[in-house]
A and B are shown apart, each in its own frame.
Chain A
């Protein structure tokens, strides 16, 4: 195995440029290892070589992130590294965020693996842990040498594309990615063991920690519905009969839009639900039950609603990941905002 080429990212302080008074300095590059890089080189031994050190002032990168990242990437790519090591940043907030930002950019745009180190309370951990391998550190630089040893060991594995073990075994903060594996015993035996432990009041370990999802804050109410343009969006799977655009019944990969021009009523002759997660009998008898165009047109005629937007957006919610759902929502939302829509009636099933 050839020597792994490593580029090290540091802030202005650790790169020896200066303290807080130099935090506004832009990116620079130096050949070889600098400052903590010397300990990193010792930790890498003969397996790797720190070929360059790229640094940037913490304020500069936080205030002009795009410019800073472009420059950092240009320096990094010149040295054709197999690995980029950033920090460790310990409990320094701006530095932690910078390390995370550099790692994500290097991974996504240069396709080079990265590793960084931070104190678990560093704000960079919360922002970047799902995308970057972060070695947990102490709060201060006192643990520098030991931290760099762990970062070097992990980094070498990543550079060699070796399969990583569990977070606790390899010494990184769990990224939250879950993979199917064979356990030592059947699920039935594991479940009953867990139950017996619970009945005896003994400690037990769940195999599936509970999540924390984003909460979307409700927007301010409309000032005057009678002047508002209202769009209809649905994940109930109501599409034109025959499903001409082949909306999937589950695990949908797309959203579709259909014109509502001249449509006052969604009839079972012209529309159907292809949603694969609920009993569609009633929806197919009268698709207005899922997408209430008939009633909305009445409100529009009475002047209770200003105008019904003339395009209707639809997908199928069954089996959707929140990641896909979020993307669909943002894409549809952009179109609606651009079209001057004031409010959305969103129906699910």
Chain B
């Protein structure tokens, strides 16, 4: 599979009377795009704002972030959400680089908010270390339609706190569809333009003597081609499909610092790094995805067994393996590491961390074989954020008593994407 990623470098975004990409500036017809997003009937209103790095703005209640993409040929842009469910990962894809579409807004009836708060600061120390503090952001602030707010409806009932009420699930899906519609709409205006940069992803035939490497990707809150990935057994996926819209975030679960935003999947840093060194340092054979949600040990054991069996069938000699986050997902993550090492497959693990005290270094479960770990930072560490006068996304913070425009002293876990285990960021944790 050969994927050509055509990048158009966005130097600025401006609202304008016609959507177009000109001299590095993305002009956006705000009314046309707003009208497009309101068509679904899921929203009372959608407001569009442009925020730039360095501006004294704080985004709160961030649900997801996506990069504008458009596929003119083979496949479909965001299959299962915007386009038909065609295989992606080949042909040409246009991307608007240097910018992001950020979805923000309040909760609906029966939507648990204990994990939901996600903050993006555009200025100050939060912006300096956060991936979305340095992108040009088009923020979509969604106001849910009244039909999602009626707490007396049976659909508002909460049966499983992890996924929310039927309303919450439908509404979150509707927000992703809208966000991705916007992303596709924006990138479409580059259809006839020459890109600034072209990157080819193709796991071409390489020297058979090179060691065979695979990537284990623990999923949470993601859909595959629009389908829930929660009950699946480990599956083989081409790395290009990950980069090209095959996996989309559908839920704001997990702490914001490690949430799998669509943007991180589209720009999966570890996948890109493995592709870049394919043919030189090793033979990158493919990726294996598996869910982080198995609730009992039996299922975790099965997932680990099945995942490692696939790796062995592929002749893997080395693996990179990423933890989503959280507590019990450590079980299958560590079991996979152990079973790989026992099968002679060298493993490198990527995790974020919590706590970081001698009494509690934050491992819910570990195996002695886990001796090669890369840390993406400790998300329980406090960070001091300055007051930022302008707030987009809501008027009150979920789970925090402070006014959203004031100075905040909070754990890093509230900041979007800070400790993503996709390897996009530069943070680590060091022992003192």
Interface residues of A (CB under 8 A from B): 129-130, 164, 166-167, 174-192, 194-196, 198-199, 204, 206-211, 248-250, 273-281, 284, 317-319, 321-323, 326
Q: Is the CB of B360 within 8 A of A322?
A: yes
Instruction: State which of B51-59, B102-110, B307-315, B344-352 sits at the interface with chain A.
Output: B344-352
A279–B164 CA distance with the chains assembled, in angstroms: 10
- Which residues of the partner chain B approach A181 to less than 8 Å between Cβ atoms? 377, 427-430
Interface residues of B (CB under 8 A from A): 112, 114-115, 129, 159-163, 211, 213, 269-270, 272-274, 277, 281-282, 293, 295, 317-320, 326-328, 346-348, 350-351, 353-363, 366, 368, 370-379, 381, 412, 419, 421-432
A256–B251 CA distance with the chains assembled, in angstroms: 30
A153–B293 CA distance with the chains assembled, in angstroms: 50
Q: Is the CB of A191 within 8 A of B361?
A: no
Q: Is the CB of A280 within 8 A of B161?
A: yes
- Which residues of the partner chain B approach A211 to less than 8 Å between Cβ atoms? 360-361, 363, 366
A180–B424 CA distance with the chains assembled, in angstroms: 15
A210–B353 CA distance with the chains assembled, in angstroms: 12
Q: Is the CB of A178 within 8 A of B363?
A: no
Interface CB pairs A-B, < 8 A, 22 = A130-B357, A174-B431, A176-B361, A180-B379, A182-B129, A183-B427, A186-B425, A188-B422, A189-B273, A191-B320, A192-B348, A198-B372, A206-B373, A210-B371, A249-B115, A276-B114, A276-B115, A278-B162, A278-B295, A279-B293, A281-B160, A326-B359
Q: Is the CB of B161 within 8 A of A275?
A: yes
With A180-B428, A208-B351, A323-B360 given, name 9 new contacts (CB 8 A): A130-B358, A179-B356, A192-B274, A199-B213, A210-B370, A210-B371, A211-B360, A211-B361, A280-B159
Q: Is the CB of B295 within 8 A of A176?
A: no
Q: Is the CB of B432 within 8 A of A180?
A: no
Chain A nearest CB, measured from B284 CB (Å): 10
B432 touches which of A174, A199, A208 (Cβ 8 Å): A174
By beta carbon, the residue of chain B nearest A317 is: B327
By beta carbon, the residue of chain A nearest B418 is: A180
Chain A nearest CB, measured from B399 CB (Å): 8
- Which residues of the partner chain A approach B427 to less than 8 Å between Cβ atoms? 180-183, 187
Q: Is the CB of B356 within 8 A of A177?
A: yes
By beta carbon, the residue of chain A nearest B272 is: A188
Q: Is the CB of A187 within 8 A of B361?
A: no
Q: Is the CB of A177 within 8 A of B114?
A: no
A317–B427 CA distance with the chains assembled, in angstroms: 27
Q: Is the CB of A183 within 8 A of B161?
A: no
Q: Is the CB of A284 within 8 A of B159?
A: yes
Q: Is the CB of A179 within 8 A of B381?
A: yes
A323 touches which of B295, B357, B373, B431 (Cβ 8 Å): B357
Q: Is the CB of A178 within 8 A of B350?
A: no
- Which residues of the partner chain A approach B162 to less than 8 Å between Cβ atoms? 276-280
A346–B129 CA distance with the chains assembled, in angstroms: 42
Q: Is the CB of A177 within 8 A of B357?
A: yes
A321–B145 CA distance with the chains assembled, in angstroms: 39
Given contacts A277-B326, A278-B162, A321-B354, contact A207 B375 (CB under 8 A): yes
Chain A nearest CB, measured from B127 CB (Å): 14
Q: Is the CB of B428 within 8 A of A281?
A: no
- Which residues of the partner chain B approach A195 to less than 8 Å between Cβ atoms? 213, 282, 318-320, 346, 348, 372
By beta carbon, the residue of chain B nearest A280 is: B161
A182–B378 CA distance with the chains assembled, in angstroms: 11
A275–B368 CA distance with the chains assembled, in angstroms: 30
Q: Is the CB of A178 within 8 A of B213?
A: no
Q: Is the CB of B282 within 8 A of A177?
A: no
Chain B nearest CB, measured from A250 CB (Å): 6
- Which residues of the partner chain B approach A164 to less than 8 Å between Cβ atoms? 432
Q: Is the CB of B318 within 8 A of A198?
A: yes
Q: Is the CB of A276 within 8 A of B161?
A: yes
By beta carbon, the residue of chain B nearest A316 is: B114
Chain A nearest CB, measured from B395 CB (Å): 21
- Which residues of the partner chain B approach A204 to less than 8 Å between Cβ atoms? 372
Which of B319, B372, B377 has most chain A Cβ within 10 Å? B372
- Which residues of the partner chain A approach B374 to less than 8 Å between Cβ atoms? 187, 190-191, 194, 207-208
- Which residues of the partner chain B approach A206 to less than 8 Å between Cβ atoms? 371-373
B358 touches which of A177, A248, A281, A284 (Cβ 8 Å): A177
A280–B295 CA distance with the chains assembled, in angstroms: 10
Chain A nearest CB, measured from B200 CB (Å): 19
A180–B426 CA distance with the chains assembled, in angstroms: 10
- Which residues of the partner chain A approach B211 to less than 8 Å between Cβ atoms? 199
Q: Is the CB of B328 within 8 A of A186?
A: no
A317–B364 CA distance with the chains assembled, in angstroms: 11
- Which residues of the partner chain B approach A130 to less than 8 Å between Cβ atoms? 357-359
- Which residues of the partner chain A approach B350 to less than 8 Å between Cβ atoms? 187, 191
A186–B337 CA distance with the chains assembled, in angstroms: 22
B428 touches which of A166, A183, A323 (Cβ 8 Å): A183
Q: Is the CB of A323 within 8 A of B359?
A: yes
A147–B12 CA distance with the chains assembled, in angstroms: 58
4 closest A-B pairs by CB: A188-B423, A178-B356, A176-B358, A188-B269
By beta carbon, the residue of chain A nearest B271 is: A188
Chain A nearest CB, measured from B330 CB (Å): 12
A262–B260 CA distance with the chains assembled, in angstroms: 46
A179 touches which of B277, B378, B422 (Cβ 8 Å): B378
By beta carbon, the residue of chain B nearest A170 is: B432
Chain B nearest CB, measured from A147 CB (Å): 21
Given contacts A198-B372, A249-B161, contact A209 B318 (CB under 8 A): no
A187 touches which of B269, B360, B371 (Cβ 8 Å): B269
Q: Is the CB of B327 within 8 A of A196?
A: no
Given contacts A179-B430, A211-B366, A249-B114, contact A277 B328 (CB under 8 A): yes
A198–B349 CA distance with the chains assembled, in angstroms: 12
Q: Is the CB of A176 within 8 A of B381?
A: no
Q: Is the CB of A278 within 8 A of B424?
A: no
Given contacts A187-B269, A188-B270, contact A207 B428 (CB under 8 A): yes
Chain B nearest CB, measured from A252 CB (Å): 11
Q: Is the CB of B372 within 8 A of A194?
A: yes
